[in-house]
Amino acid sequence: MMPKMIPLLRSLIAGFSLLALAWAPLPAQRTTPAPAPVGVRPIDWPALAEETTRIMAGYLKIDTSNLPGNELAGALYLKDVLEREGIEAQILDTAALGTGRANIYARIKGNGSKKAIALVHHIDVVPATPSFWTVPPFSGEIRDGFLWGRGALDMKGHGIVQLMAMIALKRSGVPLNRDIVFIGNADEELGSTGAVVFVRDHPELIRDVEYLLTEKTLNDVRDGKLVHFSIGVAEKRTFWQRLTVQGVPSHGSMPTKQNPVPRLVAAVHRLATFETPLEVTPGVERYFRDIARTYDEPQRSWLSDVRRALDDSTARAWILDNSTWNAYLRVTIAPTVLAGSNKTNVIPPEASAEVDVRILPHHNRDSVLAMLKRVVNDTAVHFTTLIEPKAPLESPLESPVVRAIERAALERRPDLFVTTPLLNGATDRPTYQAAGILTYAVDPFLVDVAEDRMGVHGNNERISLENIGFGVKYLYDILRYVQ
Ligand SMILES: [Zn+2]
């Protein structure tokens, strides 16, 4: 960043602290307003928040429930907003994905001295059942200080915050070293085909992209209190397996040794009770060390050195008792689907089970599969992989993106911290990571964990107007600081 920019940034930051959220009061900062550098226009933040809310409401009104998705309608809406700002946008891939499906791509130019950064969201949403909602899920209604609608949190709301942060940078004329790329993908919620087709068919559009920001991490807000900001640097990978045992069908009244059901059950039991090795990945190690300060002793010491804690039986038991943390530290194995006979008196010819296996970012699928077979220790049990793991995703803990998020977060709450929880679920990020882009998840909102659990894929999904204003300024700052 150019040194002459810094006084302006300070005055922008000080101005924004007056709008600080109710749960995040900041002492007014004493700064002397400096004249803006030539060519940089100030932003009217309350007006931008209102404009963002209006554009978000319009986007939420477009039903992009997947299936059928209908992302083309959403993409056309975004294209319209972009073109009003003089930003050219391309609708892509409708043919490859089928009727009504689309990705969108746009870019604003920097001076080219550094590589580009991409903002990625998905246009589709999961379906909503109107009868369970207080307001119709595609009304985009504003009520009680909230904008309501499917996608407000996951993730059309985030997508509009990305869009408006980019537009605000263009309008204000802040000098950019990096191009900013805006991508909206189809079909994240079902098959991830939008991101896959985009990366496969348009490598030239992202060849110069170094970093990427998208969902899915959560700033930790509990009972209205922000505990920490988050950056997603890594995610687990799905490696689903089906176990099958062949047998000889016969009558249940005269059991034989060729009944495949007990053999399968024994295999499933061995897997379910197996203690997979514990491993501490870089992001997880940092996460535990960071959150240690929010605990009393002895937990504080345990978390501050989790490797040592895992060698201590009391500490290990306490850490692994938390199912989220347990999943951060190992391959997890969850048998879920069972199939044998559908008649009590018939011994079936085959029995099968499906097992939800999730591996850590750095794991090799062959070694994990060999481990599972070793544990089962029965060659009659046949393994079929139902889902191959996506590309490994563990982005560096040190990067301009991480520093930019830390700076933007700590300016808002110098008393708190930013940390790197692992994502136990899965996203489109590995598709981009495999194309050579370092991807990070950022959360532009401060949404209570209870509210998030209720709304995301649930009923009455909504985002507060306060959060919309917070999010657009937070992402704007992150994009400025990453330059
Ligand atoms: Zn999502």
What are 65-118's pLDDT values in tens digits? Answer: 999 999 999 999 999 999 999 999 999 977 777 789 999 999 999 999 999 999
Distance 155 CA to ligand 1 centre (A): 5
**Dist. CA 70–CA 76, nearest whole Å:** 11
pLDDT at 41 exceeding the cut of 60: yes
Q: What would the pLDDT profile of 414-453 be if each residue is shown by its tens digit?
A: 999 999 999 999 888 999 999 999 999 999 999 999 999 8
Q: In DSSP terms, which residues pair with 213 in a beta bridge?
A: 119, 440
Cα 67 to middle of ligand 1, angstroms: 15
- Amino acid present at 74: G
pLDDT of residue 98: 79
Residue 17 in this model has a pLDDT that exceeds 60: no
Residue 24 has pLDDT above 50, yes or no: no
CA of 386 to the centre of ligand 1 (A): 23
The pLDDT of residue 173: 95
Phi, psi of 62 (to 5 degrees): -85, 120
**Rounded-to-integer distance, Cα 427 and Cα 169, Å:** 27
Taking the centre of ligand 1 as the mean of its atom positions, its distance from the CA of residue 355, in whole angstroms, is 24
Q: Report the distance separating Cα 456 and Cα 61, nearest Å.
A: 17
Expressed in angstroms and rounded, the spacing between residue 431 Cα and the centre of ligand 1 is: 15
What pLDDT does 264 receive?
98
pLDDT at 37 over 70: no
Residue 405 has pLDDT above 90, yes or no: yes
Domain ranges of the chain: 3-234+393-481, 237-385
Question: Cα of 321 to ligand 1 centre, how many Å?
Answer: 28
Rounded distance from Cα 156 to ligand 1 centre (Å): 8
**Centroid of ligand 1 to alpha carbon of 153 (angstroms):** 8
Ligand 1: distance of its center to the CA of 336 in Å?
24
Q: How confident is the model at residue 1 (pLDDT cuts 50, 70, 90)?
A: very low
Cα(233)–Cα(406) distance, integer angstroms: 13
pLDDT at 75: 97
What's the CA-to-centroid distance between 119 and ligand 1, angstroms? 14
Residue 126 CA to ligand 1 centre (angstroms): 9
**pLDDT of the residue at 309:** 98
Q: How far is the CA of 406 from the centre of ligand 1 (A)?
A: 23
CATH class of 3-234+393-481: alpha beta
> What is the Å distance from ligand 1's center to 363 Cα?
25
Q: What confidence score (pLDDT) does residue 10 get?
A: 42
Query: Region 384-390: what's the mean pLDDT?
Result: 96
Q: Give the distance from CA 301 to its chain's centroid.
A: 29
Q: Which of the pair, 134 or 32, is modelled with greater confidence? A: 134
Quick one: average pLDDT of 225-237?
97
Residue 103 Cα to ligand 1 midpoint, Å, equals 15
* Confidence (pLDDT) at 38: 65
Cα–Cα distance measured from residue 124 to residue 369, given in angstroms and rounded to the nearest whole number? 34
Q: Comparing 321 with 22, which gets the higher pLDDT?
A: 321
Give the chain's mean pLDDT. 92
Find the 28 Cα to ligand 1 centroid distance in Å: 36
Cα(154) to centroid of ligand 1, in Å? 4
CA of 425 to the centre of ligand 1 (A): 11
**How far is ligand 1, taken at its centre, from the CA of residue 189, in Å?**
7
pLDDT of residue 449: 92
Query: 426 C-alpha vs ligand 1 centroid, how far in Å?
Result: 10
pLDDT reading at 28 higher than 50? no
CA distance 474 to 404: 10
Structure confidence at residue 8 as a pLDDT band (50, 70, 90): very low
Tokens of 427: 């996203």
Task: Tell me which of 2-6, 181-185, 304-308 is least confident.
Answer: 2-6
Span from the CA of 320 to the centroid of ligand 1 (angstroms) = 27
Q: How far is the CA of 401 from the centre of ligand 1 (A)?
A: 21
pLDDT at 94 (0 to 100): 75
Range in 184-198, 226-240, 321-335 with the lowest mean pLDDT: 184-198
Among 3.10.150.10, 3.40.50.150, 3.30.70.360, 3.90.25.10, name the CATH number for the domain at 237-385: 3.30.70.360
Question: What pLDDT score was predicted for residue 439?
Answer: 97
Given this model, what pLDDT does residue 96 score? 74
